[in-house]
Structure 1
Amino acid sequence: MDRMDDTESIAGILLPGHLHSQQSLQYAQDFQFKEEDIVIVTYPKSGTTWMQEILTLIYSRGDDDIATTVPNWRRAPWLEHIYFKDVIIEGNGPRIITTHLPSDVLAPALQKSKAKVIYVARNPKDVAVSYYYFHKMARFLPNPQPFPEFLEKFLEGKVYYGSWFEHVKDWHSVSQTLDFFYITYEDMQKDLRRSIKKICQFLETPMYSKEVDKVEQHSNFAVMSQNSMVNYTLIPCEIMDHTQSKFMRKGVVGDWQQHFTEEQNKMFDKVFQEKMSDCDLQFIWTLK
């Protein structure tokens, strides 16, 4: 498989070379967004696939045909990935574009456009756990150390895609300069239907109640986890080894409680308070 052990970098963060090249990263930096574009921005393992599915279903008025016949990476391709320029569709109508890139790379271009930006955040304890399991199954990521060591690297921002703290805070800091909608993974878990309605309102795409019913039904985790167009089982095991971990593993809030020791939790809380002291974002750690 191509470039499985290679590394690229942009704006001081490391990226897997299997998915990125200097050419693809330059293309992303030079990309001209259109007014109709919808850009999903996330740190990895924060609900990206979920939002891709929700937006697909909103724009198909709840019809799941495209969601069950076209892979999500073609419906909502990653701006910075090697394949992006070959699949992005030119023409009228909304294009759903996905990115994990930091704000200092993309915000200037987005500020010049009228593209809508949807930022999905997830509490970083669950992100760390999910990202650890993703490292176990994704052959293009480094083999993870035991979880305690991986957690320390995550807190230090010494993982691919950089620091969760910087990603969330930097995008939050430019939100007032963009047509920007912020939602959390936990919001969607608490009330998916309400979240869908809020997204529709932001997109200025009103939907009938029955259409919302269908979007909610088909973007349910249990349904998505069985959909090969979403769960990445189409990817060869040489690239994603599903015997090590499923791509869509649990889809819950608070799974970190099954992995953190009391000492690790205290350490995490201390770092979180230090890193987020200048930011007013609030996160939900568990759902009762």
Structure 2
Amino acid sequence: MQMIHENRTAPKLAKILITRKMAEQLEILPLDEDVNQQLLEDHGGERTGWHVVGPKKYCFPSRYATEADKFFKIKTRNDDVWISTFPRSGTTLTQELVWMVMNDCDYEGAKRGLWERSPFVELCLLFHPETIEKFVRENEGNLERQKYILGMSTPVYEYMDYMPSPRVIKTHFPPSLLPLDLDENGVKVIYVARNPKDVVISYYHLLKLWRTSDYLNTFEHFINQFVNGHVPWGPFWSHVQEGWDKKHQDNYLFLFYEDIIKDMKGTIRTVAEFLNKPMNDEEVEKLADHLHISNFKNNPAVNFEDHREIGILNKSEQGFIRQGKLKYSHNT
């Protein structure tokens, strides 16, 4: 049975054209009206509606339409490292791995929250203005929490220029939607792909966990939406194909999540070589232990458990870091 918190009707959304490069325009269209209405009912955190972007029809919340041009115009640096994945493909694990390699295994520095050390560049898309207001109201009287909510929902591009180098940036954008100067600057990009059967299970639980999404429908319903590309940052297939097509480009490293889990030490060495950051056996051993799922799941700097008390995460749902298992079981 479908669960709907409130009956909301999708407003009419306009067609938008964004000029990416000379004579090249990106079309941002409202999703089909019936599908838009269904997604609006299914995702309690999105209050306006959904757009599809470009020829591959990537699906994004309403806020993308007003932010797209700013994402394309982000000024990258040649010592940046960008991690591009479809959601729930091993992003957080890869972020921590890359940040540690780029920062000479600074375990003390790694005690800071990962979202601060390695920001999610389009995180603001998950924070609808009405949802932000709701979170702030729920934390009335706690200025520290309110400030945290407002900071988390602030577009990353507003403060990226002030971040020290080297910057490790997370994104769920496919390569075609990354900043325009990224390849020109030779920015290194690590793309991670995962078995879609594992992704769909993990993604369903994630969207139920985060109240910015607050997914309300059944798993069976979500599978159909996933297959049809009607999920945030979908379609999965086009996204991964873009990453795969870039794997021979010098500034791209393509990894499979399954290989990371099966051979963590080998992956660390591969990433370190790609980033020109040599590591000795002792450093690799220690980092592999740091990233082991039993330690990773209990690491407060990456598991977002503090967000439950703030109200950004649903208290009744499973944690942000789950089991990390393979073979598309329900424990993934």
Common fold: TM-score over 0.5: yes
The answer (yes or no) to whether the contact 2:188–2:251 under 8 Å persists in 1 is: yes
Which residue matches 1:251?
324
Q: 1:246: Cα distance to partner?
A: 0.9
Task: Provide the rounded CA distance (Å) in 2 between the counterparts of 1:139 and 1:244.
Answer: 10
Relative to structure 1, is the Cα distance of residues 156 and 142 closer, same or farther in structure 2, using a 3 angstrom cutoff?
farther
Report if the CA contact (8 A) 2:59-2:235 is conserved.
no
Tell me the distance in 1 between the aligned counterparts of 2:207 and 2:159: 26
Structure 2 distance, partners of 1:248, 1:28, is 27
* Residue 55 (structure 2) pairs with residue 14 (structure 1): no
Q: Report the residue type matching 1:81 in the other structure.
A: L
Look up the equivalent residue of 2:237 and give its one-letter code.
F
SS where residue 112 of structure 1 aligns?
coil
1:149 aligns with 2:191: no
Structure 2 vs 1, CA of residues 160 and 92 (structure 1 numbering), >3 Å: closer, same or farther?
Answer: closer
2:64, 2:223 → 1: CA distance?
27
- Provide the C-alpha distance between the structure 2 equivalents of 1:235 and 1:126, rounded to a whole number of angstroms: 24
Q: Which amino acid aligns with 1:15?
A: F
Residue 86 of structure 1, CA deviation:
4.2
What is the match of residue 265 of structure 1?
Answer: none
1:16–1:141 CA contact under 8 A, matched in 2: no
5 Å-filtered alignment, 1:30-109, equals: 30-68=73-111, 70-82=112-124, 83=154, 84-88=156-160, 90=162, 93-106=165-178, 108-109=180-181
For structure 1, the 5+ residue unaligned runs are 260-285
2:187 corresponding residue in structure 1:
115
Could you tell me how far apart the structure 2 residues matched to 1:217 and 1:189 are?
12
Q: Distance in 1 between matches of 2:279 and 2:233?
A: 36
Distance 2:169 2:266 in 1: 23
Q: Alignment RMSD, CA only?
A: 2.4
Q: For 1:21 and 1:163, how far apart are their aligned partners in 2?
A: 16
Question: Contact 1:138/1:239 (CA < 8 Å) preserved in 2?
Answer: yes
Give the SS at the match of 1:109.
Answer: coil
Output one character per residue of 1:231-270: Cα deviation in whole Å (capped at 9) or x when no partner: 011224532114211111111112x3449xxxxxxxxxxx
Is 1:233 equivalent to 2:276 in the alignment? no
Distance 1:89 1:192, change over 3 A: farther
**3-state SS of 1:181 partner:** strand
Task: Check whether the contact 1:34–1:113 (CA below 8 A) recurs between aligned residues.
Answer: yes
Check 1:171–1:108 CA distance in 2 against 1; reply closer, same or farther (3 A cut). Answer: farther
3-state SS of 1:14 partner:
strand
Aligned CA distance change for structure 1 residues 213 and 249 (closer, same or farther; 3 Å):
same
Q: Which residue number corresponds to residue 39 of structure 2?
A: none
Larger Rg: 2
C-alpha contact (below 8 Å) 1:61/1:215 kept by paired residues? no
Taking structure 1 as the reference length, the TM-score comes to: 0.80
Across the two proteins, how many residue pairs are aligned to each other? 254
Aligned sequence identity (%): 28
TM-score, with length taken from structure 2: 0.70
Consecutive unaligned residues in structure 2, runs of 5 or more? 1-43, 125-153
Q: Distance in 2 between matches of 1:93 and 1:143?
A: 37
AA in 1 matched with 2:177? V
Rounded to whole Å, the distance in 1 between the matches of 2:159 and 2:313 is 21
Give the 3-state SS of the residue equivalent to 2:71 in structure 1.
helix
**Residues 205, 56 of structure 1: alpha-carbon distance in 2 compared, 3 angstrom cutoff:** same
Answer whether contact 1:61 1:211 (CA < 8 A) is retained.
no
**TM-aligned CA deviation for residue 54 of structure 1:** 0.6
> Partner amino acid for 1:240?
L
